[in-house]
């Protein structure tokens, strides 16, 4: 049996492997991001606010390599990993050349559902694929199946695959908590699934659980949510696949729903890093299920690099059946301390004067990226002839667009 002292040393070593034991001032300063002020006067901005050059990467297409709808990507120094609807996970190099497939769609030992959440352990060169409520599949980057692990946490409910991984350590975030004592961040051994440690909830808001009392349900997209109406003013919004934890520069961060603070995750501590000042648009935590607060802002996923934090948000979180959510895009300039917000979730291309782009992630190298559909490229490429786009057919896989900084 491992002694408590040895167990503590092992846990501390694994947790520090996630790179969050000694954050610098930049990661714990608790600066203010003035989003509310920017929302008061939305101002258009282009992709040049996020970078100064665009790289177009058409992904190789064949009968056996077809990317489905709603693709999500992980982009590293020398790889692109893509998960999409009703298709297996594919790995490409940074030129778009197909390298190999990761597992397959199905119910078998090395199989999963489409659009499966995934993460790459860059230290160990292992791809983790989220299989279900408590299971992760492990593959080498060449596609070799390494087996699966079952997350051994009786009180952790992780239905949406919100996790990050590094050096054989998995940090998993739980969106739904059944009691004030339920942990909502857990460290797991990426080889065995053993629970190493947990971080308890900072908050807990009860919600109706009487299934018989449900009067109506509505599924919505962008972001994916389920709106449940219990009548009498009681409502519940379940936000699916809202990724609340991310990594940047060797550190790990948390932005919880309805909490206007970005925390640095340091071991089992949460240290305030940024306060999001939403002003009059703040969504009161105690009113999270109140449909009368539709003018308030709900923060969507955030992406970060050395210079910028990019974010999306929306109002009209509880839209009436005939209404739509109102979407905004914005960014925070770390050097100036200023934020800018514009209406819409696609950003105009003021670099090459081509198609607008919806930012959907950031690479391990700090480059924001998004997708262009092949048929849109074919229709508009006469406006901007580009060698990388010349041979694209309208039925080809989408084009990954990377927004980078000129390093010359």
Low-confidence ranges of the chain (pLDDT < 70): 1-29, 133, 154-161, 175-183, 201-210, 222-223, 233, 238-242, 289-292, 321-322, 407-408
Residue 320: how many other CB atoms lie within 10 Å: 9
The 8 Å CB, 24+ separation contacts for 139-145 are 139/102, 139/103, 139/110, 141/79, 141/91, 142/99, 142/100, 143/91, 143/100, 143/101, 143/102, 143/103, 145/103, 145/109, 145/110
Q: What integer pLDDT is reported at residue 257 of this predicted model? A: 80
Q: Where are any strands of DSSP class E within 133-260?
A: 135-140, 145-150, 163-166, 169-173, 185-189, 195-199, 216-220, 225-231, 234-239, 245-248, 251-254
Can you tell me the distance from the alpha carbon of 229 to that of 397, in angstroms, rounded to the nearest whole number? 39
In degrees and rounded to multiples of 5, residue 377 shows phi and psi of -65, -45
Residue 132 has what pLDDT? 79
pLDDT of residue 2: 36
Q: What are residue 376's phi and psi, to 5 degrees?
A: -70, -40
> Nearest to residue 404, comparing CAs of 333, 305, 301, 300?
305
C-alpha pair distances (Å), 22 with each of 61, 62, 121, 267, 271:
44, 47, 21, 9, 11
Query: 248: which residues sit within 8 A by CB, 6+ positions away?
Result: 304, 305, 362, 366
Q: Quickly tell me which residue has 């229709």 as its tokens.
A: 379
Instruction: Specify the pLDDT at position 158.
Output: 54
Write out pLDDT tens, residues 204-253: 555 556 677 888 887 777 667 777 888 776 777 766 656 789 998 889 99
Task: From residue 182, give the alpha-carbon distance in Å to each of 58, 77, 201, 208, 352.
Answer: 44, 37, 7, 17, 49
pLDDT of residue 218: 78
3-state helix, strand, coil in the chain (%, to 5): 10, 40, 50
Structural domains in the chain, sorted by start: 19-404 (2.120.10.30)
Predicted confidence at residue 111, as pLDDT, reads 95
Q: Which residue in 190, 118, 106 sits closest to 148, CA to CA?
A: 190
Give pTM, 2 decimals.
Answer: 0.88
């Amino acid at each position: 049996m491992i002694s408590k002292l040895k167990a503590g040393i092992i846990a501390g070593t694994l947790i520090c492997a996630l790179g969050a034991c000694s954050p610098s001032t930049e990661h714990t300063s608790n600066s203010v991001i003035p989003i509310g002020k920017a929302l008061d006067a939305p101002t258009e901005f282009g992709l040049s606010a996020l970078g100064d050059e665009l790289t177009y990467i058409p992904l190789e297409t064949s009968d056996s390599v077809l990317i489905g709808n709603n693709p999500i990507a992980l982009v590293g120094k020398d790889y692109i990993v893509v998960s999409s609807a009703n298709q297996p996970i594919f790995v490409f190099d940074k030129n778009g050349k197909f390298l190999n497939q990761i597992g397959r769609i199905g119910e078998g030992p090395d199989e999963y559902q489409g659009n499966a959440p995934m993460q790459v352990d860059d230290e160990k060169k292992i791809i983790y694929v989220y299989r279900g409520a408590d299971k992760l599949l492990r593959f080498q980057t060449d596609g070799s199946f390494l087996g699966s692990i079952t997350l051994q946490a009786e009180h952790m409910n992780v239905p949406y695959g919100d996790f990050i991984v590094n050096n054989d350590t998995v940090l998993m975030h739980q969106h739904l908590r059944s009691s004030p004592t339920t942990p909502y961040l857990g460290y797991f051994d990426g080889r065995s699934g053993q629970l190493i440690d947990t971080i308890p909830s900072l908050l807990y808001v009860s919600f109706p659980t009487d299934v018989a009392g449900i009067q109506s349900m509505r599924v919505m997209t962008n972001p994916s949510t389920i709106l449940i109406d219990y009548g009498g003013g009681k409502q519940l919004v379940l936000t699916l696949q809202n990724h609340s934890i991310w990594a940047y520069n060797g550190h790990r961060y948390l932005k919880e729903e309805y909490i206007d603070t970005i925390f640095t995750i340091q071991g089992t501590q949460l240290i305030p890093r940024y306060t999001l000042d939403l002003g009059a648009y703040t969504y009161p935590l105690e009113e999270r299920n109140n449909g009368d607060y539709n003018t308030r802002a709900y923060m969507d996923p955030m992406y970060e690099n050395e210079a910028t934090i990019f974010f999306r948000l929306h109002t009209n979180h509880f839209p009436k059946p005939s209404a739509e959510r109102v979407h905004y895009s914005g960014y925070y300039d770390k050097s100036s301390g200023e934020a800018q917000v514009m209406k819409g979730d696609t950003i105009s291309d003021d670099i090459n004067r081509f198609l607008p782009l919806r930012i959907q992630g950031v690479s391990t190298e700090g480059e924001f990226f998004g997708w262009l559909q092949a048929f849109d490229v074919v229709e508009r490429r006469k406006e901007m002839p580009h060698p990388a786009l010349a041979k694209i057919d309208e039925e080809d896989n989408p084009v990954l667009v990377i927004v980078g900084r000129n390093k010359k």
